[in-house]
Copies of this chain bind each other. A is one copy, B any other.
Amino acid sequence: MKFYRKAILPLGFKASAVASGLKKSKKLDVALFFSAVLAKTACLFTTNTMPAAPVIVNRQSLAKGTLFQAILANSANANCFTGSAGVISARESAASLAIGLGVKRENILLASTGVIGKKLDVQKIKNAIPQLIANLSVNGIFQAKRAILTTDAFTKEASVKINLGSKNVTICGVAKGAGMIAPDMATMLAFIFTDANISEACLKKAVRSCVDNSFNCITVDGCMSTNDSVMVMANGCAGNKLISAGRDLALFSKALATVCLELAKLIVRDAEGGSKFIQIKVCSAKDFGEAKKAALSIANSNLFKTAMYGQNPNFGRIVAALGASAVKAKESDLRIKVSPLHKKDIDVQVFLGRGKASAIVYTSDLTPEYIKINAEYN
């Protein structure tokens, strides 16, 4: 397995981006990801009960089938809490792109990120579509990965190459996210592309497992978004023997997990205002669920996060957060280890003394800068 800290599109994929005018800064704000052939696609969306229009429309499309050919994503406007007009706008943008690409509307996925509750000026997106299509290229990913950003300070990208039989398979992911980050999932969009030939059932299972151990293990501020989406497209262009079980599936899953975890960690590293990257590992728990619940309770404690910011060894706050999570550890069995607080990367290890399971969660500290960013963002 070879790992790359950059986006390398797999065979059959192209991308492009345009500055449509949605961002007042005139920066890139609409991205198109395109597969030359229909791709098996697995998606996971926010469990927020106020989902954005693109999430609603995607769910409707997925009810009809799981083959997709393009993703149209915009930043600057979440198209959420925009009523039926928002849903119509989302459908219109997909219809317009479908005509341009010569594909069916139901083979297009949508994603939006940005301010909630503001009418989407869909005409700007529609106006951008001809140029998006004209610009499609393998290198277009370098623009597309920037067009999906909002408050992000840097792009999130990762690629992995593996050999399956005599074939080279690539998995490439780009993501956005810096705040409003919490399971399930983060406020984030992640688009992952692979040329692997894989069965639909295996793809779905691998995606679920990888997301549970990556995007669902990060939290910046405990706030769950309305737009969170992970989309994984597998177009089969690598020509490998169909992955349906055994060693090939294990290799593919491991590669996908690597991409997902890298993207998830990058989101935490870019946490709004964050000055620390904190890994919290809860060990010797009864089961994974207990370990993860305890780790997330610590990670989401504002008091713990401010102590980390202040490099303040007030570990009583870890105890209080553990207790608040209703974890049943005995005080006398509990062990807590924290690495030196003056460094940027901090490791917290908690031993519950109850069993053999463990879970790792990633988070940032809570800083005055986080408040400044979010007091002003609208």
Contacts and interface: CB of A to CB of B under 8 A. Distances in A.
Nearest to A227: B320
Contact of A180 (B51, B303, B313): B303
A279 interface: no
A303 B61 CA distance: 31
Interface string A222-236: 111110000000000
Contact of A81 (B48, B221, B316, B327): B316
Interface in A284-314: 300-303, 306-307, 309-310, 312-314
A48 B117 contact: no
A154 interface: no
Contacts of A300: 222
Nearest to A376: B310
A241 interface: no
Interface string A199-233: 00000000000000000000001111110000000
Interface stretch (A1-9, A96-104, A367-375): A367-375
A115 B316 contact: yes
Nearest to A222: B302
Contacts of A182: 324
Query: How many identical subunits does the complex contain?
Result: 2
Contacts of A309: 371, 375
A96 to B, nearest CB: 24
Interface centre among A84, A118, A182, A301 (most CB of B within 10 A): A301
B310 A374 contact: yes
Contact of A307 (B51, B310, B321, B375): B375
B307 A374 contact: yes
Contact of A306 (B226, B319, B375): B375
A291 to B, nearest CB: 15
A312 B180 contact: no
A329 B332 CA distance: 45
A226 B378 contact: no
A147 interface: no
Given A50-B322, A221-B303, 8 more contacts: A115-B314, A116-B317, A223-B303, A223-B324, A303-B374, A310-B375, A314-B378, A368-B372
